[in-house]
Amino acid sequence: MGGKRGKKDDKKDLAAPITAEPISRGDISKYLRLNSVLKPIREINIFAQSAGTILDLYVEEGDIVSKDKQLLTLESSDQDLAAKRALARLEREKNNLSRAQELFNQNMLPEDEFQQIQLSVRDSELQLEQAELALHRTRITAPFKGFISERYVNSGSRIDPSRPLFKLVDDSEIQLEVWVNEADLGALQFGLIADVKKSSNSKQSYKAKLIRISPVVDPTFGKLKATFKLLDISSDLKPGQLVELYLVLETHSNVLIIPKRALVYESGIPTVYINYDNLAFRRLITLGLETGENVEVLGGIAEGELIIVDGQSTLRDSSKVKPVISIN
Query: Helix 77-105 vs helix 111-136: angle between axes, to the nearest 10 degrees?
Result: 160
Q: Give dist(CA 1, CA 4) in Å, integer.
A: 5
Confidence at residue 12, expressed as pLDDT on a 0 to 100 scale: 56
DSSP string, 237-277: --TT-EEEEEEEEEEEEEEEEEEGGG-EEETTEEEEEEEET
What is the maximum alpha-carbon separation in the chain? 148
Q: What is the C-alpha to C-alpha distance for residues 256 and 303, in angstroms, rounded to an integer?
A: 7
Question: Which domains are assigned to the chain?
Answer: 76-137 (1.10.287)
Which pLDDT belongs to residue 325?
A: 62
Angstrom distance (rounded) from CA 313 to CA 265: 9
User: What is the DSSP secondary-structure string of 173-240?
Assistant: EEEEEEEEEGGGGGG--TT-EEEEESSTT-S--EEEEEEEEEEEEETTTTEEEEEEEES---TT--TT
Burial of residue 28 (number of CB atoms within 10 Å: 0-12, 13-18, 19+): buried
Q: What is the pLDDT of residue 203?
A: 82
Q: What is the pTM of this model?
A: 0.68
With DSSP H G I counted as helix, E B as strand and the rest as coil, what are the percentages for the chain, rounded to 5?
25, 50, 30
The answer for residues whose C-beta is within 8 angstroms of residue 75's C-beta and 6 or more apart is 52, 53, 54, 55, 138
Q: What letter represents residue 209's amino acid?
A: K
Q: What is the pLDDT of residue 2?
A: 47
Distance CA 108, CA 232 (A): 76
Which burial class, exposed, middle or buried, applies to 303 when counting CB atoms under 10 A from its CB (0-12, 13-18, 19+)? exposed
What's at 77, amino acid-wise? S
Q: What are phi and psi of 123, to 5 degrees?
A: -65, -40
Which CA distances in Å does 70 have to 130, 135, 142, 152, 232? 21, 14, 7, 16, 31
pLDDT at 13: 63
Q: What's the pLDDT at 11?
A: 53
Dist. CA 194–CA 187, nearest whole Å: 11
**pLDDT in tens for each of the 328 residues of the chain?**
444 544 555 555 689 999 999 999 999 998 889 999 999 999 999 999 999 999 999 999 999 999 999 999 999 888 889 899 999 999 999 999 999 999 989 889 899 999 999 999 999 999 999 999 988 989 999 999 999 999 999 999 999 999 999 999 999 999 999 999 888 887 788 888 999 999 878 888 899 999 999 988 888 888 999 999 999 877 688 899 999 999 888 899 999 999 999 999 999 999 999 999 999 999 999 999 998 899 999 999 999 999 999 999 999 999 999 998 655 5
* 100 phi, psi to nearest 5 deg: -65, -35
User: Distance (Å, rounded) from C-alpha 302 to C-alpha 259?
Assistant: 15
In angstroms, the CA 1 to CA 312 distance is: 33
Rounded Cα–Cα distance for residues 254 and 274 (Å): 21
